Structure 1
Amino acid sequence: MAGQSGKAALASRGVLRRSGMSALLALAAMTGTLPVAQGHTPWRRIGLTQLRAAAPELNGTGITVAQVEASLCPHGDKFEPNCAATGQPSFKFTFINCSGTVGVKPDIRAQSAHATRVGWIFYGNRGGNVMTGVCPDVSHIDVWNAQALYRQLCRASPSLIPPGQIAAPAVINQSYVFEDAATVEIRSVDAVFDNYAARHNTLFISAIGNGLAMTTETGWPSQVNPPADAYNDLAVATCNGTTGIGPACDGRSKPDISAPGTETSYAAPLVSGAAALLLQAGKEGLGGSTTADTDIRVIKALLLNGATKPADWTNSYTIYKHVYIFNAPNAFTFTPLDPRYGSGVLNVYHAYEGLLAGEHSPTASTTLNGQSMPTAYTYAAAPQPLKGWNLGASNTRAGSNRLHHYLFVLPKTAGTSWNLTATLDWNVTWAGTTLLMDHFYLYLLNASGEVAWSKSPIDNVQQIHLNKLAPGTYDLVVMEHGSPVPIPRSHYALSWDFTPVYPGRRTLTDGRHR
């Protein structure tokens, strides 16, 4: 369906920001139809049916979330969902309108069909035989007007805790875009979202936009619109509907993940709900900790690593040269993610399995001087579990590279070969419009040398996906690339999954089997 959009000014510190001499930025909201019942698509496709059967207690309990909506001006400040239609009691909601006024009572004049549908998918709770949303038992829902949220994030000391509330939202769904953004505006938007996410451990999950009708106004137009193109944001495309494709306007790998939906507005709340479920599992200690496994870097790594890869998934642009993405600056022949699906299609059950596998520290850490390439770790050590994750810490000395080794032994008895997906991510921050970014690379090594690598110099995510690895000993290496000056301690999240391939069983594109 055609998107609805209204022109609205992008406000920064109380000043209207224009796109140079162009029109004011638009906040675009999109429309669609209600989802199908829980036992069918898309719940089965995203692993939610399987998760509900395995862990019915995971429903969002104890998690505060937020929903950010665009006003459909000039028709008034329409950004609220219809609480009754979502099945949630009105006392669970706080509303922050375009002027920043906080309210606790729904305003029928401010209700939006778009907001209602997004809320239904995200946290709907009708009960009985009627479909519920992904996280129906969340503790509280803050509903923000997008302009008000952006102005708050631009403050010197931003806070997303509304008066009367005790907790800021842990997951924020953003089913809107800033349209026609110029490069300087994009960097400003990225900076405020990235800094808040990194400093407050808040996961922003944003729709990228619906394609050619929604692009950036940069030297090379991109279909990935802010705020989805922020580094620390989890950018969402739809795998089966009207969607933009990547990369971002600077060539970075975006989107990060995809999900079913008629448009990206309705794919994003599926991912937001899945993140809330993983955060609940982490808070309850199901990953072995109540701190590391609620870190947004870990949640992001688990979601990306658990995604199912469609048959045409690729991280090589050479597969479809006709697509205009080849015009992007800094675009590489191989990138960490697919510019259509990101890491793949959301599968919350696979991500949950990854969390349950627990945190495992590196087998060893070493230092390489200069620009030397890593070599496999050769010392005798106990191998790592074949599925797991780690929130690792790293710091380098001037001119050196710091290597963190994860040693694995793939036995012959478990199958004829093995499939691997490994995902690495980390946060960035900004000083004004200057990006402050560590550089981590991901390698898979054996005794003969490099087997595979992911080393994009512009992304804050790396991924290795391989099918049919031979049995043997492997070293999965996270390398922090050194700089001319010492780098303070930084953190990364790594998730991995080695899966055996059995003779006579069909291998799926994501390395799993039927």
Structure 2
Amino acid sequence: MSKNIFKWRPVVLVLIFAFSGHTTYASSIMDTIGVTLLRQTTTNLNGAGIKVAQVEANAGGSPPGFEVNPGNVSQPASLFTYYSTVGTANTYPNSVGLNSGHADAVGGYIYGLGGPIATNVAHVDNYDAEYFYTSIIAVTFPPPINARIVNQSYSFGVQTSAEQQQTDANFDDYAAQYNTLFVSAVANGGAVTAPGTSYNGIGVGAYQGLSSVGPTTDNGRAKPDITAPEQVTSYSTAEVTGCALLLLQAALRGDGGSDTNSAADIRVLKALLMNGAIKPVDWTNSSSSPLDARYGAGVLNIFNSYHQLLGGKNGFNATSTVSAGNPHPPTGAAGTQAILSGWDFNTSSGSPVNDSVNHYYFNLTNSAGNAIFTATATLVWNKQANATSINNLDLFLYSVNSGGLIAASTSAVDNVEHLLLTKLPPGRYDLQVLKHAGITPSLNETYSLAFEFFTMPLKSGCSNNTAVLSWPIYPTGFVLESASSWGAPISWSTVNVAPTVVNNTNRVVVSSSSGNQFFRLRRP
């Protein structure tokens, strides 16, 4: 298939912080994105054995300024290979490019040794963005690259809808053909832009910083997919890339079960990263638009994503078909999912005339009897290589007890569906993946589903005039709050005591002299 190439118009994202200040700043946000807790509870999850590609727009100069200086990220020169229109180099400095401070900063977040995320990556392929796009992505027969995950902390800038669609198509075709995950910035303000708008990649925004807002201008798709706690999207993208590298390493070494091919598929990685994200207090979506226009699925948290990977691959319990557009209540099948947190990588066997439904049944019970559950589910599938459209899949949650529909994500333009429910009573539920009837672009569709159902118990006890509060470490993202009285209105304040982790449990000791007697957990 011939690929059109339009005039190259990259825009390097604006830097806010100098690189010299990044080590401390990066360390301070490791708690927020779950890296600190992950390191406390796992062994050697550091990107070992995984190659990453870092694509950088020219920061100026001839040859192009796109290169990471190994010394500035505390890594050996042997870790890097550099590519540009001038040639390829395995040494630094070299004649194919010049150093870029932006590249140093981005690389420092991903694999630098000063506290960042994937410090032990096997290799870094550092590309000039113009060369990468015109010589690898947008050619008639694109060649494979050595890396499964590609960081793109740059933007193409303002494009027409036709230009954006062609850019997206080129990246999507490559991703589908080579199972390559592009983690790309959506830009620092205004409308979301390529390459962060591609269907099969992860578009990243900056939480509470300079960040573009969706939906896409071409057909109103939900982008960004996720955010991270940075001031600009260059660095939030690097954080997501680093966490994707950890998740890929964990998948390939079998942390998600023996089917490592499925666990390492880009659709599974994307679904797990999105489903582990923590929602800001003002997060919102709708049945027709699955993600928040500002935050996507929420704020990155690799600890949650990793624990959903640990749940392993869990197939559907039943499958059914209904005439296209007809209701599809629970089937009454007896099967039940063995766990409440996990993933699946499966295929919807479609029909030319019927909607096809895969059913996942969950029994939600709790010893407290009246406890309520929180549920998140994320469905991801690819825009297939050389396809001009996507298959239409939807995600539904039904109550088996009543037969009623609880929630639905039914976007007609996205290849992501996402559900969040915070007040599910105990009961039996049917999580459904529905493929609409039709053979275009294909009869069957392969998808990934990540899911999490939980209730968070807060336990308390007394010891020597202190209150001892404890709750599970997974899922994370909760804040302990206290109040001195129960009278309305209740005034809650944050307990500013860092929990200690003991046997997979958070533990906080509060002195009785504080005067607070009532406690709760709140997830922002």
TM-score by length of 2: 0.83
CA distance in 2, matches of 1:486, 1:189: 20
Q: How does 1:145-184 map to 2 (within 5 A)?
A: 145-151=128-134, 152-161=136-145, 168-184=146-162
Deviates more, 1:498-507 or 1:135-144: 498-507
Q: CA deviation at 1:27?
A: 2.9
Structure 1 residues 437, 29: closer, same or farther in 2, change over 3 A? same
Q: CA deviation at 1:293?
A: 0.4
1:106 aligns with 2:92: yes
Contact 2:51/2:124 (<8 A) preserved: yes
| 1:451 paired residue number | 406
User: Among 218, 223, 229, which residue is 1:254 paired with?
Assistant: 223
CA distance in 2, matches of 1:413, 1:143: 53
Long gaps (5+) in structure 2: 460-468, 480-520
| 2:510 paired residue number | none
Write out per-residue CA displacement over residues 403-449 of structure 1, whole angstroms, 9 at most, x where no aligned residue: 00000111142561111000001000353xx6231111000001331
| 2:294 paired residue number | 340
User: Among 305, 310, 318, which residue is 1:351 paired with?
Assistant: 305
Q: How does 1:346-425 map to 2 (within 5 A)?
A: 346-413=300-367, 416-425=371-380
The amino acid of 2:414's aligned partner reads D
1:224 aligns with 2:192: yes
| 1:482 paired residue number | 437
| 1:137 paired residue number | 120
CA distance in 2, matches of 1:298, 1:498: 18
Q: How does 1:255-270 map to 2 (within 5 A)?
A: 255-270=224-239
The amino acid of 1:410's aligned partner reads L
1:95 aligns with 2:49: no
Q: How does 1:203-218 map to 2 (within 5 A)?
A: 203-212=181-190
The amino acid of 2:267's aligned partner reads R
Q: How does 1:41-80 map to 2 (within 5 A)?
A: 41-73=28-60, 76-80=63-67
Long gaps (5+) in structure 1: 1-11, 19-23, 126-130, 162-167, 213-222, 317-332
User: Secondary structure in 1 aligned to 2:444?
Assistant: strand
Q: CA deviation at 1:158?
A: 1.2
CA distance in 1, matches of 2:81, 2:186: 26
User: Secondary structure in 2 aligned to 1:436?
Assistant: coil
The amino acid of 2:388's aligned partner reads L
The amino acid of 2:268's aligned partner reads V
Q: CA deviation at 1:362?
A: 0.2
User: Secondary structure in 2 aligned to 1:84?
Assistant: helix
1:116 aligns with 2:104: yes
The amino acid of 1:187's aligned partner reads Q
| 1:437 paired residue number | 390
Contact 2:26/2:109 (<8 A) preserved: no
The amino acid of 1:308's aligned partner reads I
Contact 2:317/2:333 (<8 A) preserved: no
1:17 aligns with 2:1: no
1:245 aligns with 2:245: no
CA distance in 2, matches of 1:82, 1:485: 48
Q: CA deviation at 1:244?
A: 1.2
Contact 1:121/1:133 (<8 A) preserved: yes
User: Among 35, 42, 46, which residue is 2:22 paired with?
Assistant: 35
CA distance in 2, matches of 1:362, 1:295: 18
User: Among 260, 268, 272, which residue is 2:241 paired with?
Assistant: 272
CA distance in 1, matches of 2:222, 2:423: 25
User: Secondary structure in 2 aligned to 1:79?
Assistant: strand
Write out per-residue CA displacement over residues 339-359 of structure 1, whole angstroms, 9 at most, x where no aligned residue: 111100000000000000111
| 2:483 paired residue number | none
User: Among 401, 414, 417, which residue is 1:462 paired with?
Assistant: 417
The amino acid of 1:441's aligned partner reads D
Write out per-residue CA displacement over residues 190-241 of structure 1, whole angstroms, 9 at most, x where no aligned residue: 11100111111110000111003xxxxxxxxxx2110100001100001022
CA distance in 2, matches of 1:41, 1:277: 19
Structure 1 residues 50, 501: closer, same or farther in 2, change over 3 A? closer
Q: CA deviation at 1:105?
A: 1.5
| 2:463 paired residue number | none
Q: CA deviation at 1:73?
A: 3.6
User: Among 142, 158, 163, which residue is 1:185 paired with?
Assistant: 163
The amino acid of 1:313's aligned partner reads W
Contact 2:224/2:293 (<8 A) preserved: yes
Q: CA deviation at 1:133?
A: 2.0
Q: CA deviation at 1:485?
A: 6.5
User: Secondary structure in 2 aligned to 1:487?
Assistant: coil
Q: CA deviation at 1:360?
A: 0.4
Contact 1:395/1:487 (<8 A) preserved: no
CA distance in 1, matches of 2:25, 2:265: 29
Structure 1 residues 105, 336: closer, same or farther in 2, change over 3 A? same
Q: CA deviation at 1:115?
A: 0.4
The amino acid of 1:28's aligned partner reads V
Structure 1 residues 92, 495: closer, same or farther in 2, change over 3 A? same
CA distance in 2, matches of 1:300, 1:132: 24
Write out per-residue CA displacement over residues 79-124 of structure 1, whole angstroms, 9 at most, x where no aligned residue: 0011111111111111011x16111122376001000000000111
| 2:496 paired residue number | none
Structure 1 residues 84, 386: closer, same or farther in 2, change over 3 A? same
Write out per-residue CA displacement over residues 4-58 of structure 1, whole angstroms, 9 at most, x where no aligned residue: xxxxxxxx97x8724xxxxx62332332323343895310000000011111310
Contact 2:391/2:440 (<8 A) preserved: no
CA distance in 1, matches of 2:206, 2:107: 17
Contact 1:120/1:132 (<8 A) preserved: no
Structure exhibiting the larger radius of gyration computed from Cα positions: 2
Structure 1 residues 472, 119: closer, same or farther in 2, change over 3 A? same
Contact 1:440/1:455 (<8 A) preserved: yes
The amino acid of 2:12's aligned partner reads A
User: Among 278, 293, 297, which residue is 1:308 paired with?
Assistant: 278
| 1:495 paired residue number | 450
The amino acid of 1:207's aligned partner reads A
CA distance in 2, matches of 1:449, 1:424: 21
| 2:256 paired residue number | 287
Contact 1:410/1:471 (<8 A) preserved: yes
TM-score by length of 1: 0.84
